[in-house]
Amino acid sequence: MKIIRCVLVALLATAAMHAHAGRSCDAPKPPAPQTIVQGMNLAEKTWRALEAEHVKSGAKVVVLARAGQDLSKYGLRYSHLGFAYKAPDGRWLVAHKLNTCGTAEASLYRQGLGEFFLDDLFRFEAAWVIPTKEVQDKLHAALLSERTKAMHIKPYSMVSYVWGTKYQQSNQWAIETLAAAMEPSIRTRDQAQAWLQFKDYQPTVLNISPLTRLGGRITQANIEFDDHPAKKRFTDRIESVTVDSVFEWMPRAGLGAAPVVLKL
């Protein structure tokens, strides 16, 4: 019993630190034990599914998503994605970008599946796309190197313009990193975005009113709209990278299979 208690305390401490470094800034207190248990159960089921796929097909990279907040009013199901990959030591790790709580900056992280699913989830559900073998091979090589840092910048906006370079949100970093992995000649974010346009990536168009935009800018350090073209911004068209748009694009572009959904 003492061992179980110690493990729970450690998980609570980890979750608290992760919430500070991650997306959710709403609750300063650690999540409830039941939330941690559900998150760990989701991580375990995801691990089992990825291990089974690895044995079956040799899969070593998936584009993994979680539902960290309710985005249903925008017609979206998932909020955040990263690359889950098979590490040389046999573990499944997740490379992703997280906004530092209460700031307009973000950093890159490599975490286990448990940490990835302990970030104050709105819905205990995982989803992933298995890339084609070519995409997996190139992504895996990039994930085992420093190339994941090539497209990263610190300035962060949750709704950064899909074809802009002033800010960069988490999902935007992911697909720009995918582009750089696929084409070794890519050295800049502009080049990565040109590759994405060539591959016909289509962003999500969010209809956000001026009042909502103003409220977001005033109350949140990690929300900016000034990188969006005026003619689109002033007609309430905010074009940004979402998980749902990435999951729709990858199969259409021949870069991966249809999404797999795992519900707890």
Structural domain tally of the chain? 1
Are 85 and 60 a contacting pair, CB within 8 Å? yes
Q: What is the pLDDT of residue 234?
A: 84
Q: In this predicted model, what pLDDT tens digit does every residue of 164-203 receive, in sequence order?
A: 999 999 999 999 999 999 999 999 999 999 999 999 999 9
Residue 124 has pLDDT above 50, yes or no: yes
| Spatial separation of the C-alpha atoms in residues 193 and 189, rounded to whole Å | 6
Which of 200, 4, 59, 32 shows the shortest CA–CA distance to 121?
32
HSE on the CB side for 180, CA within 13 Å? Answer: 23
Whether residue 78 is predicted with pLDDT greater than 80 in this model: the reply is: yes
Residues 125-131: what's their mean pLDDT? 98
What would the pLDDT profile of 89-115 be if each residue is shown by its tens digit? 999 999 999 998 878 999 999 999 999
pTM to 2 decimals? Answer: 0.87
User: Directed axis angle between helix 133-143 and helix 170-182, to 10°?
Assistant: 110
Residue 15 has pLDDT above 90, yes or no: no
Q: Where in the sequence is the domain holding 8, given as residue range(s)?
A: 2-263
Q: What is the mean pLDDT of residues 137-144?
A: 98
- Check residue 10 and give its pLDDT: 41
**Does 215 have pLDDT greater than 70?**
no
- Mean pLDDT for 149-161 is 96
